[in-house]
Chain A
């Protein structure tokens, strides 16, 4: 059973590294915004896998808070962002 969580963790880690590459490289700020939004979803996935692997449910309220904060953050950036070419 431990193999399953390890494989999931490795896949998520690869996904995080690829997304981080796009967030750092991305030509426009909107690419970075999409990358960071994906990064938070991957973080939530990782925390959920941690809960499943260890039966440790202390971080479940943190997962809920993270999902709401990510929405506020992304929408705020999309609203108050300055265009790239100005």
Chain B
């Protein structure tokens, strides 16, 4: 009974974080701001929901796969954020947005896809 309440609280908090991520994705003005809104609840909210599910099905052998999923998302989300954020920074810093301060950063600008 206590564990049911605990898992319900975890799942509800995770869903609320996912909702805030979606709200930030719609409301924020810039691609980098949208990434900031999207990536963190993606990892933390997903981990909360998976933890709640894990408590709910405790003892079942499939619980290890949920741990594995949380681990995969925690490993891959920074990689995705780095690749996409690098592209966003390279392509949109001169386009009148909030990324105009290039003078102190000295980022090399190479041509070619992705790299």
Contact = CB atoms under 8 A, between A and B. Distances in A.
A67 B73 contact: yes
Interface string A36-63: 0110011011001101100101001101
A64 B53 CA distance: 14
A49 B31 contact: no
B57 A11 contact: no
A42 to B, nearest CB: 6
Contacts of A21: 26
A38 B69 contact: no
Contacts of B114: 78-81
A41 B46 contact: yes
Interface string B32-55: 001100100010011001101100
Nearest to B68: A64
Given A8-B12, A57-B62, A30 B38 contact: no
A86 to B, nearest CB: 10
B84 A33 contact: yes
Interface string B54-94: 00110010100110110011001001100110011001100
B57 A55 contact: yes
A12 B60 CA distance: 25
A51 B35 CA distance: 28
Given A11-B18, A49-B53, A82-B113, 10 more contacts: A7-B15, A34-B35, A37-B84, A52-B11, A52-B53, A52-B56, A64-B68, A70-B76, A74-B80, A80-B114
